[in-house]
Amino acid sequence: MRVLVCGSEGSLMQAVIPKLVEAGHKVSGVDNLMRYGRRFDHAKVDYEFHKLDLADNISTESIMQTVEPDYVIQAAARIYGIGGFNKYCADILGEDVSLHNNVLKSAVNCGVKRVAYISSSMVYENCVQSLEFPVTEDMPDHAQNPTTDYGLSKFVGERLSKAFARQYKLDYTIWRPFNIITPYEKAESSDIGISHVFADFIKKIIVEKSKNISIIGDGSQVRCFTWIHDVAQAIADYSFDPRTQNQCYNLGNDEPITMTELAHMIHDVGVELKLIDDGNLTFTTVRHYHDDVRIRIPNVDKAQTQLNWKAKQKVRESIEQCLKQI
């Protein structure tokens, strides 16, 4: 099949694309290279690439007509840590919703069969969450809308996908990844939170060899870090599967860990790999965000029951693989 991957140069799609190619699909990628300004070629496979901005509707219509895809994976978005999506809130809300609307309109005009939308666990930010009751796919429909502009952009993106299905009969699949951990992301700013927390921690603990770690909040926030290739495999294998037609799925590793526990784990693995010397970590809170979610844990029963998908790799293994690529 012909597959157009929007946001093709981002970390997740660079893991998805080789799996699509291996499955025999013809892949075209499109990206505006906004975040880093260049391609990193982590995918290590040949695919047709187009540099353009999907926020421009004429460009979006043109690339859709050129590629004539059977299916689209829509992952184009501005992706940051909590500091980044607070700093660039207007760009995220305005541009990301706009470009997703452009992709859906062009998909309708060009006869695309389905658009798989890469959403986020941030749609759950105002859902009631606890260690005992992980979030399920139906919860955002019955909770207050997300408070952050990033979370709201993903919530509206999901609603757009569903609205296009109702009005234009354009099928969708919605994926909600939980805190992807990847060797592809490097902390590119000294401003904490622009990158994701694991990238910031790796830079501070392993690269800079610091024992005094700057953190956001008190460090007791709970997340579930999921290996990028576990998430990528689900997206590549099931985005066009009949079972996922007009369905939404959590993709996460149900292994809760606090931010300080994550930092200690990175430190311990770094010591084992002889990348740093042993020592005691200390933490200094440098910033608070009122919209920083305290607990976010996925219920992945739906993906496991319907698709036989479950995250295979634990956090420690993921950290080891990241550190071995430094």
Distance of CA 179 to the CA centre of its chain: 7
Query: Do 76 and 201 reside in the same domain of the chain?
Result: no
- Domain contains 188: no
Q: What percent of the chain has pLDDT over 90?
A: 86
Q: What is the pLDDT of residues 3-30, one digit of tens each?
A: 999 999 999 999 999 999 999 999 999 9
For residue 279, the model assigns a pLDDT of 95
Residue 293 pLDDT class (50, 70, 90 cuts): confident
CA dist 256 → 82, 130, 196, 233, 253 (Å): 19, 11, 17, 22, 8
Q: Specify the number of domains making up the chain.
A: 2
Residue 35 pLDDT class (50, 70, 90 cuts): confident
pTM: 0.95
Query: Do 29 and 144 reside in the same domain of the chain?
Result: yes
Q: The domain containing residue 288 runs over which residues?
A: 197-222+256-295+315-324
Query: Do 101 and 176 reside in the same domain of the chain?
Result: yes
CB 297 within 8 A of CB 224: yes
For the chain, what is the mean pLDDT? 95
- Domain contains 204: yes
CATH of the domain at 303: 3.40.50.720
CATH of the domain at 283: 3.90.25
- Domain contains 161: yes
